[in-house]
Amino acid sequence: MSTIYIMEAANLFCGDHDPTASKHLTLTELQLPALQEMYQDHHAGGSRVQIEVAVGIQKLEPTFKLAGWDPDLLTRFGLGASRASVFTAYGVVRDKRTGVAHEAKAIMEGRLGKVEADTFQRGEMMGHGYAINEVMHYELWFADREKLYWDFYSTDWRLDGVSQNDDERRILRIPTTG
């Protein structure tokens, strides 16, 4: 049966599930990373028509915007932060047909690579935009079901919990870890 799912609210934890890392009071925008394949054009010598061939997936770059200043988050920026951080986003997604609220969850491991302050204008709230770069791990869950999983170090890529590259990892003798 057809329905429509609408995101009604979101929260972001910068530093996993530490309750003090919740951004629910200042989060104004959350952009999950674009999922975009990379293609290479190919025009075979014996073909009249050029084709494109999928050769991978572009880097993941989630962004978010917070109202006001966040001095604690600034310390996670750049090369001074020796390790990647875990960012966990939660969303309330409502099924408009049934009224049931579902949890959407994205787990992203990367570096806080960009902090961009809004222009200050008297009488308006100044905020900051942030980008998570060097993403090495990404999970997307909907209603307690894993929809997408990718991990750079294990090279695992799963859709709906099913590995998409077990054969490749087996042939290349890459250990299965998860």
Q: Is residue 150 part of a domain?
A: no
Number of domains in the chain: 1
Q: Which residues contact 3 (CB under 8 A, 6 or more apart)?
A: 95, 96, 97, 98
* Digit-coded pLDDT (tens) for 22-77: 999 999 999 999 999 999 999 999 999 999 999 999 999 999 999 999 998 888 88
Residue 178 has pLDDT above 60, yes or no: no
What whole-number distance in Å separates Cα of residue 62 and Cα of residue 131?
Answer: 6
Does residue 173 form part of some domain?
A: no
| Position 148 in a domain | no
Domain of 11 in residue numbering reads as: 5-29+61-143
Q: What is the pTM of this model?
A: 0.90
Instruction: Answer whether 3's CB lies under 8 Å from 98's CB.
Output: yes
Residue at 164 is within a domain: no
Sign of torsion, CA 10 32 145 13?
negative
130-157 pLDDT tens trace = 999 999 999 999 999 999 999 999 899 9
Structural domain includes residue 82: yes
Q: What is the pLDDT of residue 17?
A: 63
C-alpha distances out from residue 67 to 56, 108, 177, Å: 36, 21, 39
- Domain membership flag for residue 100: yes
Is 19 within the bounds of a domain?
yes
Domain-located, residue 93: yes
